[in-house]
Amino acid sequence: MVKAFNWWVSSILEDKKVLFDLNINKDLRIIKKDYLCIICRGTKLLCGKTRCPIMIKLYSLIKTKVLNIENFLEGSAPPDIFIGRIGYPKVYIGPLVPPIIGDTKIFSTPEKWIGKKIDEIIDMRSQLIRGKYLIDVHSPSKDLDKISLMIQELSLSTSPTNTELFFERKPSGTIVLSSEFEPFGPSAPIKSLRIGSYKTIKTIEKAYYDYDMKAEEAVMISYLSNVGISAIQRAFSSGCFGLKKNRKFVPTKWSITAVDSIISNNLIREIKNFPIINEYQVYSFNNIGNKFIILMMPTKWKYESMEAWWPGTFWNPWKNVVIYGDHEHFSGRTTYAEIGGCYYAARLAVTEKLYEMKKQAGIIIFREIYPEYILPIGVWNVRESVRASLKNKPMNFNNLKDTLNYISSILKIPLKKWCEASTLLKEELYQTKILDFILYEH
Per-residue pLDDT 10s for the chain (442 aa) are 334 333 333 333 333 332 223 232 333 233 333 345 534 645 567 677 776 776 676 556 555 554 678 899 999 999 999 999 999 999 999 999 999 999 999 999 999 999 999 889 988 998 999 999 999 999 999 889 999 999 999 999 999 999 999 999 999 877 777 788 898 989 999 999 999 999 999 999 999 999 999 999 999 999 999 999 999 999 999 999 999 999 999 999 999 999 999 999 999 999 999 999 999 999 999 999 999 999 999 999 999 999 998 887 767 767 788 888 899 999 999 999 988 899 999 999 999 999 999 999 999 999 999 988 877 899 999 999 999 999 999 999 999 999 999 999 999 999 999 999 999 999 988 875 544 454 444 4
Indicate the SS3 state at residue 368. Answer: strand
Residue 120: what pLDDT? 92
Smallest Cα–Cα separation from 128: which of 198, 192, 175, 58? Answer: 175
Q: Which helix (H) or strand (E) holds 102?
A: none
Q: Nearest-CA neighbor of 239 among 266, 263, 260, 258?
A: 258
CA distance 304 to 366: 9
Beta-bridge partners for 54: none
The answer to whether 292 and 389 have CB atoms below 8 angstroms apart is yes
Strands, E assignment, 35-85: 72-77, 81-83
User: Burial letters for 290-329: b for 16+ Cβ neighbours within 10 Å, e otherwise?
Assistant: bbbbbbbbbbebbbbbbbbbbebbbebeeeebbbebbbbe
Report CA-CA distances (Å) from 189 to 61, 131, 161: 19, 6, 20
The continuous run of DSSP H or E covering 339 comes out as none
Residue 380 CB partners (closer than 8 Å, separation 6+): 110, 111, 113, 182, 230, 345
Burial degree of 213 (CB within 10 A; 0-12, 13-18, 19+): middle
Q: How many Å apart are CA 108 and CA 125, to the nearest integer?
A: 8
Nearest to 86 by CA among 17, 147, 134: 134
Indicate the helix (H) or strand (E) that contains 169.
none
Number of residues that make up the chain? 442
Residue 203 backbone zone (phi > 0: left; psi -120 to 50: alpha; other: beta): alpha
User: What is the chain's alpha carbon radius of gyration, rounded to the nearest angstrom?
Assistant: 23
Cβ(62)–Cβ(18) below 8 Å? yes
Return d(Cα 365, Cα 283) in angstroms, integer: 10
Instruction: Name the nearest CA neighbour of 409 among 399, 398, 395, 423.
Output: 395
**Which residue type is seen at 294?**
I
Q: In whole angstroms, what separates CA 196 from the centre of its chain?
A: 29
State how far the Cα of 174 lies from the Cα of 407, in Å rounded to an integer.
Answer: 40
C-alpha 374, offset from chain centre: 15
Give all strands of the β-sheet with 395-397 in edge-to-edge order.
322-328, 302-309, 362-369, 290-297, 280-287, 395-397
**Side chain identity at residue 225, one-letter code:** S
CA–CA separation, 390 and 375 (whole Å): 25
Q: What is the pLDDT of residue 338?
A: 84
Taking the CA atoms of residue 6, residue 11, residue 14 and residue 15 in that order, the dihedral angle to the nearest 10 degrees is -150
Looking only at the bridges linking them, the beta strands covering 90-97 and 129-136 are antiparallel
Cis peptide, bond prior to residue 183, ω within 30 of zero: no
The pLDDT assigned to 65 comes to 55
